[in-house]
Structure formats: structure tokens, C-alpha cells
Amino acid sequence: MLKAHSSVTALLRTTGISIRPEVTTLRNVACMQHLLGAVRWKSQLRPAPLLTARPSRALIDEQISIQGRFLPPNCPVTVRAHMHSEEGDLWEAFSHYNTDENGVVNLTKDPSVGGSYFGCEPMGLFWALHPAPSAREGLRLRKRDVETPYVVQLSLWEGHMTSDQDTMDELAGCLAALSVERWYMAPHTRRVEIRQNGVVGTLFLPSGPGPFPAMVDLWGIGGGLNEYRSALFASKGIASLSLAYFGHKDIPGPPNQINVGDDYFRSAYNLLQDHQEVCGERIGLIGLSYGVYLVLHMATHIGLKPKCVIGINGPVGSNDKWPSMMSGSSLKAVDEHGNFTVKDMTMPYNIAKDNKIKIETLECPLLYILGEDDNNCASVESANEIEEVLRSAGKAQLFTRLSYPGAGHLIEPPYSPNTSVSLWRAKPKRIRAFWGGHPAPHAAAQEDAWKKMFDFMDCNLRR
């Protein structure tokens, strides 16, 4: 005890702290040793760098706050995000920051000075995700299993690093790391597979008691069944039926052409209308790309009475070339660079009058969202024609246009990375789909359009 007391006393004297000789109990010596440790930590050490993300588990369209603390003041750092897609491909983004005088970097308010994006972009690490240099060509990030999250790894690095430097050594220079979960489905949202009366789809229902307002959700000529937008709708309180109409194993007939007609879409709408947890008088339609033509057709030609329609970058009509175009075999759909695009085919003047939507018969509000850099569909020209026809019919008040410079064809939920070109078909010849869009303005368009789309649905489905 005397030896311990002597050691503690000598060390405390170096700090200017004195003790009385009579304080010699083991308990007091232990307290003094603890005090000595606190003094040394405070005078000589600094907390380890800390990276935080709040919330660490959120829906894909929700912002999170990312912050690095306990860093050297006014020093360069890199924040990196990386994740693996469901197919196993690596996607990543990184950005350069400089800490403030307190050794803090806050992505909510601090500007990026380099890397995958520039400026103050709180969610830049997510919308700027892109395939790693070693990844396969022509990737597009799409969620197939909405009941599992994307798990994104965030890490904080010393200095301004490039992507190549990051992959050289995963340990050197890494100051802190954590993972966040990005979900398309909120807890207690219900997913119900629909195989009824020939209808193929997935119904998503919000948590809690119904009945709920609802949407019928159609995608484009990629075919299959895409659920993630409907899952998000239900997570926000709107029931949604994601509907397949071609290119799905449960739909009979050749996979590369549309084998269903008006009866199919009428059955899908009626199925949703008759569901006990859906308010049958409060149903809207939403379509992307070719899905725009289909939802406009449903609203004007087959006797349905939706409360509203949302179209995202789609045509005003169809034509006889769609079946061959679906499989990418139409030479007119492939440009000189091997890019698959239907922009010329969807120009209103290239669509026969009999194949156009009779938009003048529309009886509900229409929100048309377009990217001015859409390189796949004649969206600007389609919007112009729709607006002109409705104006001539005395229905201008039904039309709302959201137009976004620099945005491409695939305007999706917020913070989703844009793909301007992706692989459309690998065999017998590699053909790429040319979507268009520039990362930052496309991301801004997705965020703004998503908010205004919900405002539109709230106004027309809930009131």
C-alpha cells in the first residue's frame, strides 16, 4: 500500500495536485489512481475518431444525417459509401471534405470539394453510388426483394483519397466505419402476391386499419414485376398494386410482347377496387415510360374512373412496332452507337392518330413528370401534345407538368442512383439502353418530384 501511495503521490505532484500523508487507505489510493488516469487522458489523449449516421435504419426516401467527429481540425478527410447489389456487384461513392476548427465534418451542411459529387449534398453518398471500376458493364441498380434492405457501409478516411486508393488497402487510413440499412418497406407493411382472375401482381397494404386510398402501379418495356415503388407507397399510407403485364413467367404467351388486353387491366383495377382494405372510390394510376401510355389508356378508353393519373416520361400512344421493340430486335430502336432508344418512335408525329390516347376524354387530374434530358422517350413532345389537347378541350385545369432540366428517363424514388446507360440485351448482340440524365440534377429532380407526387396524391386521393 505504501508503495502504491508513493507512486501515486509522485505522479500527482507532476500535475500540481498534492495529498495529505494521512490519506493512505487502499480505497483512497484506488480513487487517486482513477483520478490520475483521468488527468492523463485529459491532458495527453483525444477521443478516437467517430462516424455517426442517424437514423441508421430508414426508408430509402428518407434523409439521414452523417457526421464525423473527434478529428484533427482543418484537415482533409474522405467519406466513402459502398454496398453490394443483390447480384453481388460492388457499388461505391466517395467524397472529399475538410474538417472545421473543432475537428468536425457534417454532411448535412458542409460542402464536398471533390470525389463523386461537389457541394452541399446531404445524401450525395447514396444518389452518387456507381459501379466500382472492376464491376460488370452496363449495370443498373434495382431492388428485387423489397423485404430485405440495402446495407450500405460508410467509412471515414484520412486525407483526400480516390476510389483506386480505397481499394488498395481496406485498413490503411480508415479512421471509423459503420453500416446503415436502407429499406423500401416499413415495418408492418404487408406484401400480398396476386394471382387472381389472370391478374399477376403484388399488392402492398399499409399498417393499421383501412380502408386506404390506392394506386395501380405500372412500369415500362423492361417487363417483369417491379415492386419497390409500390412498397414505398404503402409505407407512406397508400395501398398500391404493382402490376405485371408482360415479360413475366405467370403471364401466358410469348415473353417479349404484350399478350394482355383491356380486360386484363380492367380486372386488375376492379380487383383493387373490391378489396376490403381499399377505398374503392379513391384509386389512382401511375406509370413510367410505356406504363404512361397504359395508365392513360386505362383512364380514357376502358370505362374506369380513377381519381388521378401520374405519368413519368412516357408516350401519348402506341404503334405496331412495340412487339419487336420489346425484344430489342427492331433496328429502328437501336441507334448507331448500339444504344436502344425509342425516342424517335415515340414522337407524337410518328404515332398514328388511331393509336393515340384520346386525351380529350380525360376526366381526372393528370400529373406529368418529365426529364428534359430523357434520351429514351419523346417526353417533352408528349407533354406538349397532352397539354395542347386538354387546353383545346377546355380541360387545361386537369394538367400539371413537372419539368426537370438535366434529368433523364428513369425518375425514381429519391436518393436512388441514376443510370444513364445500361445493358439492355447481351445476346445475340450486346445492346445498351440509353436513358440519359446527369447525376446531380437528376437526383434533385427525383427528390422534388417525389414530394410533389405525394402532395398530388394527398390532394386527389385523401380529400
Q: What is the rounded CA–CA span in Å between residue 418 and residue 197?
A: 36
| Catalytic residue flag (residue 188) | no
Highest mean pLDDT among 42-46, 122-126, 339-343: 122-126
Check whether 23 has a pLDDT greater than 90: no
| Catalytic residue flag (residue 374) | yes
> In whole angstroms, how far apart are CA 28 and each of 4, 12, 16, 33, 146?
11, 14, 18, 9, 59
> In whole angstroms, how far apart are CA 418 and each of 131, 144, 313, 373, 424?
11, 17, 15, 12, 15
Residue 106: the pLDDT is 98
Concatenated DSSP letters of 393-427: TT-GGGEEEEEETT--S---STTPPP-SEEEEE-S
Residue 124 gets the label, from left (phi > 0), alpha (psi -120 to 50) or beta, of: alpha
Question: What value does the mean pLDDT take over residues 193-208?
Answer: 96
What's the order of all strands across the beta sheet hosting 105-106? 50-54, 65-69, 105-106
Tens-place pLDDT, residues 403-438:
999 999 999 999 999 999 998 876 767 788 899 999
Q: What is the rounded CA–CA span in Å between residue 154 and residue 250?
A: 40
Residue 331: the pLDDT is 44
Number of C-beta neighbours around residue 327 at 10 A: 17
Round the average pLDDT of the chain to a whole number and report it: 87
In sequence order, the 6+-apart residues with CB closer than 8 A to the CB of 348 are 315, 316, 317, 356, 378, 381, 382, 385
Residue 117: the pLDDT is 97
- Helices assigned H by DSSP within 138-199: 163-168
Q: Model confidence at 253, in pLDDT bands (50, 70, 90)?
A: confident
Check whether 7 has a pLDDT greater than 50: no
The one catalytic residue among 110, 166, 373, 374: 374
Report the half-sphere exposure of 436 (CA within 13 A, side-chain side): 21
The one catalytic residue among 217, 409, 420, 442: 409
Check whether 13 has a pLDDT greater than 70: no
Concatenated DSSP letters of 59-103: ETTS--EEEEES--TT-EEEEEEEEE-TTS-EEEEEEEEE--TTS
Tens-place pLDDT, residues 127-185:
999 999 988 889 999 999 999 999 999 999 999 987 655 454 555 679 999 999 999 99
C-alpha cell at position 292: 404512361
Tens-place pLDDT, residues 221-244:
888 999 999 999 999 999 999 999
Beta-bridge partners for 286: 217, 310
* Domain 190-462 of CATH type 3.30.470.20: no
> In whole angstroms, how far apart are CA 379 and each of 116, 207, 323, 454?
28, 36, 21, 21
User: Which CATH architecture group holds 50-183?
Assistant: Sandwich (2.60)
In sequence order, the 6+-apart residues with CB closer than 8 A to the CB of 141 are 85, 91, 129, 416, 417, 419
C-alpha cell at position 291: 406504363
Domain range annotation of the chain: 2-44, 50-183, 190-462
The one catalytic residue among 116, 289, 318, 382: 289
